[in-house]
Structure 1
Amino acid sequence: MTHNLLVELGLEEMPAYVVTPAMKQLGEKMKAFLADNRLTFEDIEVFSTPRRLAVRVKGLADKQSDLEEDFKGPAKKIALDADGNFTKAAEGFVRGKGLSVDDITFREVKGEEYVYVTKHEEGKPAREVLETVTSVLKDLTFPVNMHWANNTFEYIRPVHTLIVLLDDEALDLDFLDITSGRTSRGHRFLGTEVEVASADSYEEDLRHSFVIADSKERKDLIVSQIKAIEEEHAVVVEIDDELLDEVLNLVEYPTAFMGAFDEKYLAVPEEVLVTSMKNHQRYFVVRDKSGKLLPHFISVRNGDSHFIENVIKGNEKVLVARLEDGAFFWREDQKLVIADLVEKLKHVTFHEKIGSLFAHMERTKVIAGYLADKAGLSADEKEAVLRAASIYKFDLLTGMVGEFDELQGIMGEKYATLAGESEMVATAIREHYLPNSADGDLPETKVGAILAIADKLDTVLSFFSVGLIPSGSNDPYALRRATQGIVRILDAFGWDIPLDELISDLYALSFDSLDYANQDQVMDFVVARIEKMMDSTIAKDIKEATLASSTYVVGTMLEASQALATKSKDAGYKAAVESLSRVFNLAEKADTSATANPSLFENDEEKALHDAIETLELSADMTENLDKLFALSPVIDAFFDNTMVMAEDEALKNNRLALLSSLVAKASQVAAFNKLNTK
C-alpha cells in the first residue's frame, strides 16, 4: 500500500526572485529526507505562488525499508583476552551499536581477524517517520531572512499556515509556532480560507479560491493569454523569459491585459521606453509585425477580469509618469556638454580608497593604448579607443542615467553620437560594460572590446592594490565577473596576448593616482577565471597541467586542455605522458640558462633526442602539438634506458639536464606534463 503526502507552507508574499529557487530546493530537500529515512516513493511534485511553497510525494511507501548493516570492530587479538573472554573494547563496541557480545562474529581481512556485528532494524511505519517531516522546511535556505513580532527565529517571510496531509489525514505537527492542519489561504483579494480535503485534491481545492498552485500551469496560462491578445490586435509581444518568470512569481491568479500610452513618447529613445516598461513596471513590450515599437504594453493582473478597465487606466497612469520623466531627461541631457561632464568626474568617487572616476579613466586610457598596440589595431581604431577612453564614463552624470541606471553606456552611446563623436567611439562607450553577466553578450567591435578589457583590468588591479580582494563567495565589487569578462573577450577575439606578460607590463606602469600592488594575487585570480572557462567535464589534473603551462594565451590554454582531455582516452596516452613527466621532473634540477653541447654526448640516444628536439616545431594547433610530443616517447625512453642523467661527472650531468630542459621549454607551451595523473 502506498500513500500521497502533501506539505504546504503559507507565508507572506515572498520576493519574486526567491520563489522558484525555494520551490526547487523544497523538492530536493524532501527527496533527501525520504532517502535518509529509507522511505521509497514514485514521484515528487512541487508547487509555489508568492504566498506558499508546497510539495507532494506520490506513491510513498507505507513503511521504511528494513535495515541490515555490517559494522567492523576491533581486531580479534584486542577483542579477546588471554582466556578467550571479550574485553571491554569489544563490549564497548557492540554496546555502541545497541547490540551485545552474543552478536559478534569474526571475519578475516587481509590475513587478520576482526570483530563484526550485523545490525537488523525493522522499518517504522511512514506515519511515525513523518513526525519529523517539517525539518525539511527548517532546512530551506534563503538569500535573506527576517524575524517578526517577538519571535527569535528567522525565515524568508512570516509564516501563517502549515498543512501536512497523508492522503486525507491531517497530521498534527508544528513549525515556527504554527500548528499544522488542513487550512490554506486563498487569493488575498478574491479568495477565502481553503480546506484542503486530501493530498490529491490540493490544486482543485485552491483553484476554487482563485489560486493556481502549479507554477507551470500559471506560466502557460499567462503565455496563452498574451498570445490571444497578440492575435486579437495583430501585434507581436516580446515575452522575455526573465520577465515572464518574475511576473509568474508575482501573481496567484493571472489575467493579462493590454494598455496604451501617447504616441508622442515614441520620440524618446526606445531603450528608455523599454526600460521603463520592463525593468520598472514589469510590462511586456508590444511591437508591430515589422518589429517597430508600438505605444502599447502588456501587463498581468493578480486577479480575474472584473473591473479590468479600471486596472488598465491605473497602470497607464503610472507608466505615463515614468515616460514623462524619461522625456524630460532626454530633452535636458541634450543641453549638456561632454567635456564639462568629464571634468566633473574628477569630483566623483570611484572608490574612497582608490580615487575618482576621472583617475580611473586616465589609467584605463593608458592600458587601452597599450592593448591597442598588442592587438594590432589600425591607427584609426587606436585613435577611437583613446578618444573613447577619455570620455566613456560621462553619461553617469546625465539625468537619464541618474534616473535609469540600467541605461549607463546605452545613453552614453546616444549622447556621444548626438555630440558628433564617431560611430566607433560611441559604440565603444556602450560596449565597454559588456559582458554584464557571467555568460552575457560580448562586445562586437575591436574598439569596444579593447576599452572593455582596459576598464576591467584597471578595476581589478585597483581594487586588489588597495586590499579589496574577493574571499570565498564574497565579491561585492564583482571582480570575478570583470575578470571573467577579460578572458572571455580575449578568447572571443583571438588575441594572442599572454596574460602573464600583460599583467607584468601593467605593473611596470606608473600613475600619479595609484600604484598597482599584489601582482601575484591578481595573476592567481586571472588563472582561476581561465580554469572556470574550461569544459567542466575535463579532469582536474588536465586543467592544472594546462594552467601551469608557459603560455598564458587564453585561447591556447583552452584548446590545450580540450586536446589533452581527448588524448587521455587514447591507448598510448599513459606511456607518452610518463615519458614527458620524467623529463619535466629532472629538468627542474637544470640551470635554465645553460644549453646542451653536442660534443659532450656519449651515445647515439643522446644525439637522437637532441636532433628530435632541434627539429620539433610546435604550431597553434594543440592536437597536432600533442601528436608531435607524444611521438617522442620512444626516443625519450631510449635516452633514459641508455643514459645516466645524474652522472658523477658534473659537466655530463649539466649537459644532459640542459638537453632535457630544452625539451621542457617547448613542451611546456602545451602543458606541464608532470602534473598529469596516469595512475
Structure 2
Amino acid sequence: MYAIAEALRREWTLERIADLTKWDAFFVRKINNIVKMEKELAAGPLTPELIRRAKRMGFQDESISKFSKKPEASVRQVRMDNGILPTYKMVDTCAAEFAAQTPYFYSTYGTECEVPRSDNKKVIIVGAGPIRIGQGIEFDYCCVHGVMACQEAGIVLSVERRREAIWAEARRLAAQAGGRLPEETRGALLAEVANLVESPTPLLGAFEEQYLELPREVLATVMRKHQRYFPIENEKGELLPRFVAVANGRIDPAAVRAGNEAVLRARYADAAFFWQHDIAKTLEEFRPALSGLMFQAKLGSMLDKSERIEQLAPALADWLGLSAAEKAAALRAAHLAKADLVTQMVIELTSLAGQMGRRYALKDGEPPEVAEAIFECALPRFAGDALPRTKAGATVALADRLDSLAGLFAVGLAPRSAADPFALRRAALGIVQTLIENGIDLDLRQALRAAAALQPVEASEQCQAEALEFIARRLEQWWLDGGARHDLVRAVLAERGHNPAGASRLLDELAAAAPTERFGRILTAYSRPARIVRGQTLEAGGRVDPALFEQDEEKALHAACETAAAAIRPAMRLADFLDAFEPLCEPIGKFFDEVFVMVEDERIKANRLALLKRIADLAGGIADFSKIEGF
C-alpha cells in the first residue's frame, strides 16, 4: 500500500499500478485521493476549508502539519477556531432490525452528531483493542468487568490513581515520623514507583543515625536511585533516619520492613567505606588516575580531556567576560573538574559525578566558588535539570561540551539515528540552554575552532561546521518544542544560529513584531528587492554606480539605502533594524512603480540589480526574512 502511494506521488498512472499490483482500480483511486490531498496541502494555502476536507479524509493534525509545513499547534488552533471538531456516528449493532439498547459510536468529521445528550453515567473504554463490527459491545463488557475484578483484587489500573495514592500515604507516613517528603521526590521517583507496582502498599522504615554523617546527596541517591525509597526530611531540610518504601500487593509489613532496612543498611555501610577511603586523599591527588580512564581511543584518556578543558577555559573566560576572580575560579575548577570520576564513591554511584567533586573540593579547602564550578561542570545531567548559574561554572561546562563535540565529530562519532553513546545531543542542548538562560553571548564558530585546535586528531573546518549545525538543530527543536513558530525559528537560525543567546533575544523580538501591521508592511517592502535578486547571477562584489542612474526614483532609493546602511549593524536589535529600514519602504514602492529593472542595456540592468541586492543584504546578520510566512 505504501509502495502504491509512493508510485502515485511519482505520477505513475492508475492503470499501470493496477496492472502491476493486481489491485482493483477502485482501491488504487482511493489511495490516489489521499496522495492528491497531500499535494494540495503542500501547495497551500492552508485554509479552514482545506483542513476540514483533510480531516474528513482521516488526516491527523500532525500529517497536515508535515505536508503544509505549518506548525502542528497552529493547525490545531485554526481547526479549533473554525469549529472543525469531531462528531460521532452510531454503529447499528442490530442490523437495523430493531433499536439497539446499548449502541456504540465512531468519530468522524461530519456535520451531524448522532450521540443523544444524556445525564446518565457513562463508561469510556480506552485501549480496548481491535474492535470489529458486531464485537464492540462484547469487548466493552469484558473490559468493564475486568476492571471491576482488578479492583476487587486490590489492583489499581490507573497509573495516575496509583501516583495519588502512593503520594498521599507516603506523606502521611512521613508526618507520622515527624518529617516530610522532599518535594523533588514527587517527580521522577514517584512516577517510576507508580509504574513499578500495581497494588501499592507504602510502609515506613528506619536506618541507623550514624549514617547521617554521610553527605545528603549520597544518602538520597542510594535511597532514590538504587532502592526507590522516599527520603524523609525535617522542616530545615535535614534528612531524618527514616524512609518510605512501597511494596506491591498484600504483604507481611514487619517482614518487608525488616528486609528493606537490611538492604539499605548494607548499601550505607558500603557508602561509608567509600567516603572514608575518598577523603583520605585530595582531588589533586586523585587527578592523575584519570589517565587510566578512557574517554575515546583516538581522543585519549579522561586526563587528556581534562587537560584540553583546562587549556580551552582561559579563552572562553575572556569571551564570556569573566572578572579576574571569576577567571581564576574557572581555571582552578577546570583543572579539578573530572577528578571525582576516579573516586570510589563516583565509581559506585556514577550519578554523583560533580556533586562529590564539590564535596571533596570543599573538604580540601578549595574556595566555594571553585567547588560550585566543579559541580556545575556536570550540568545539565538530564532533561529538566538545573543549569550552571555562575560564570565560572558555565565556562567549565561549556569547555567540557565543546571539547566533546569538536573531538567526537572529528573522529566520525557524530550521533546516528537513535545511537548517541557519548550523549552529544544532551551536550549540544546543554550548551544552548546554558548560554540562553544566562544571557551569555558566545560565537560558537570561534569556540568550536578553539576546541578543534586542541584535539589530538585533525578537526577539519567541515567537521566544525557539522558540529555547529548539530548544535543549531538541537536549538531549533528546543524552540519548536516550546511552541515557537517554525518560520521565525528558521529565519533567526539562518543568521544568528552561531550565537544562541543573541538568537533567542531576536526570536522573542520577532515573535512580538511578526503579527503587527508595521512588520508586515516592512516585510512586504523588503521582499520586493530580495525576490528580484534571488536567483540572479550578479558579479561578485558588484558595486552601485550612481552615475548610471537614469531616473529620480533610482537616486532616491540609493540615498535612502545608504542612510539605512550607515545605521544598520549585523548584531543589532530587531527594533533598531526596523527603525532604520522603515524609511526605505516608500522609496522601494516608488522605484518598482516607475523603474523597469530588466532593461536591455546590461550596464543599467546590472547597476539596478546591484542596488536591489544592496538593500536585500541589509538584513545580513539580523535574520533571513525570506523564510518568514508572507515573504
2:556 corresponds, among 600, 608, 616, to 608
Matches within 5 A, 1:499-510: 499-507=444-452, 509-510=453-454
Task: Please state whether the residue corresponding to 1:298 is helix, strand or coil.
Answer: strand
Q: Which moved more, 1:224-233 or 1:642-651?
A: 642-651
1:629 corresponds, among 581, 584, 608, to 581
Q: Kindly tell me: are residues 459 and 93 of structure 1, through their superposed partners in 2, closer, same or farther at Cα, counting changes over 3 Å?
A: closer
Q: In the alignment, does 2:216 pair up with 1:264? A: no
Deviations 1:621-651 (A, max 9, x none): 3245345435532222223344455566666
Q: Kindly tell me: are residues 441 and 607 of structure 1, through their superposed partners in 2, closer, same or farther at Cα, counting changes over 3 Å?
A: farther
Task: Please state whether the residue corresponding to 1:534 is helix, strand or coil.
Answer: helix
1:280 corresponds, among 187, 212, 226, to 226
- Opposite residue 150 of structure 2, the aligned amino acid is L
Matches of 1:658 and 1:163 in 2, distance apart?
A: 65
Task: Please state whether the residue corresponding to 2:240 is helix, strand or coil.
Answer: strand
Q: Kindly tell me: are residues 529 and 324 of structure 1, through their superposed partners in 2, closer, same or farther at Cα, counting changes over 3 Å?
A: same
Would you identify which runs of 4 or more consecutive aligned residues in structure 1 move more than 6 Å?
92-95, 162-171
Matches of 2:229 and 2:93 in 1, distance apart?
A: 51
- Deviation of 1:456 after TM superposition, in Å, equals 0.4
Q: Kindly tell me: are residues 506 and 592 of structure 1, through their superposed partners in 2, closer, same or farther at Cα, counting changes over 3 Å?
A: farther
Task: Please state whether the residue corresponding to 1:373 is helix, strand or coil.
Answer: helix
Q: TM-score, normalised by structure 1?
A: 0.68
Matches of 1:657 and 1:641 in 2, distance apart?
A: 16
Q: Kindly tell me: are residues 474 and 654 of structure 1, through their superposed partners in 2, closer, same or farther at Cα, counting changes over 3 Å?
A: same
Matches within 5 A, 1:76-475: 96=26, 125=93, 198-238=142-182, 239-304=185-250, 307-475=252-420
Q: In the alignment, does 2:590 pair up with 1:638? A: yes
The aligned counterpart of 2:458 is: 515
Deviations 1:143-189 (A, max 9, x none): xxxxxxxxxxxxxxxxxxx9999999877xxxxxxxxxxxxxxxxxx
Question: Contact (CA 8 Å) 2:312, 2:450: kept in 1 or not?
Answer: no
Deviations 1:106-148 (A, max 9, x none): xxxxxxxxxxxxxxxx978599xxxxxxxxxxxxxxxxxxxxx
Matches of 2:175 and 2:282 in 1, distance apart?
A: 46
Matches of 2:375 and 2:477 in 1, distance apart?
A: 26
- Opposite residue 414 of structure 2, the aligned amino acid is I
Deviations 1:287-326 (A, max 9, x none): 112222111111111133x531222111111101111111
1:569 corresponds, among 507, 515, 519, to 515
- RMSD value, Cα: 3.6
Question: Contact (CA 8 Å) 1:265, 1:323: kept in 2 or not?
Answer: yes
- Opposite residue 456 of structure 1, the aligned amino acid is R
- Deviation of 1:545 after TM superposition, in Å, equals 2.3
Q: Which moved more, 1:562-571 or 1:552-561?
A: 562-571
Question: Contact (CA 8 Å) 1:535, 1:562: kept in 2 or not?
Answer: no
Deviations 1:404-440 (A, max 9, x none): 1110111011111212222222111110111122432
Greater fraction of residues in helix = 2
The unaligned stretches of length 5 or more in structure 1 are 1-73, 79-87, 100-121, 128-161, 172-195
1:559 corresponds, among 488, 505, 524, to 505
The aligned counterpart of 1:68 is: none
Q: Kindly tell me: are residues 674 and 209 of structure 1, through their superposed partners in 2, closer, same or farther at Cα, counting changes over 3 Å?
A: closer
Q: Kindly tell me: are residues 293 and 539 of structure 1, through their superposed partners in 2, closer, same or farther at Cα, counting changes over 3 Å?
A: closer
Matches of 1:390 and 1:286 in 2, distance apart?
A: 36
Matches of 1:207 and 1:510 in 2, distance apart?
A: 63
Deviations 1:525-577 (A, max 9, x none): 12212212324544433332222226732133233334434444334655533
Q: In the alignment, does 2:474 pair up with 1:534? A: no
Greater fraction of residues in strand = 1
- Deviation of 1:349 after TM superposition, in Å, equals 0.9
- Opposite residue 516 of structure 1, the aligned amino acid is A
Matches of 2:227 and 2:260 in 1, distance apart?
A: 9
Task: Please state whether the residue corresponding to 1:548 is helix, strand or coil.
Answer: helix
Matches of 1:645 and 1:524 in 2, distance apart?
A: 37
Identity over aligned residues, as a percent? 34
Matches of 2:537 and 2:521 in 1, distance apart?
A: 23
Q: Kindly tell me: are residues 163 and 602 of structure 1, through their superposed partners in 2, closer, same or farther at Cα, counting changes over 3 Å?
A: closer
The aligned counterpart of 2:618 is: 666
Kindly name which structure, 1 or 2, has the bigger radius of gyration based on alpha carbons: 1
Q: Which moved more, 1:640-649 or 1:359-368?
A: 640-649
Question: Contact (CA 8 Å) 2:298, 2:457: kept in 1 or not?
Answer: no
Question: Contact (CA 8 Å) 1:431, 1:452: kept in 2 or not?
Answer: yes
Task: Please state whether the residue corresponding to 1:514 is helix, strand or coil.
Answer: coil
Matches of 2:278 and 2:381 in 1, distance apart?
A: 25
The aligned counterpart of 1:546 is: 492
Q: Which moved more, 1:275-284 or 1:366-375?
A: 366-375
Matches of 1:456 and 1:583 in 2, distance apart?
A: 42
> How many residues are aligned here?
510
Q: Kindly tell me: are residues 484 and 630 of structure 1, through their superposed partners in 2, closer, same or farther at Cα, counting changes over 3 Å?
A: farther
Matches of 2:287 and 2:608 in 1, distance apart?
A: 62
Q: TM-score, normalised by structure 2?
A: 0.72
- Opposite residue 349 of structure 1, the aligned amino acid is M
Task: Please state whether the residue corresponding to 2:416 is helix, strand or coil.
Answer: coil
Question: Contact (CA 8 Å) 2:472, 2:497: kept in 1 or not?
Answer: no
The unaligned stretches of length 5 or more in structure 2 are 1-12, 30-89, 96-128
The aligned counterpart of 1:580 is: 526
- Deviation of 1:666 after TM superposition, in Å, equals 3.2
Matches of 1:219 and 1:604 in 2, distance apart?
A: 75
Matches of 2:156 and 2:131 in 1, distance apart?
A: 19
Task: Please state whether the residue corresponding to 1:285 is helix, strand or coil.
Answer: strand
Deviations 1:370-429 (A, max 9, x none): 111111111121122222212211111100001111101110111112122222221111
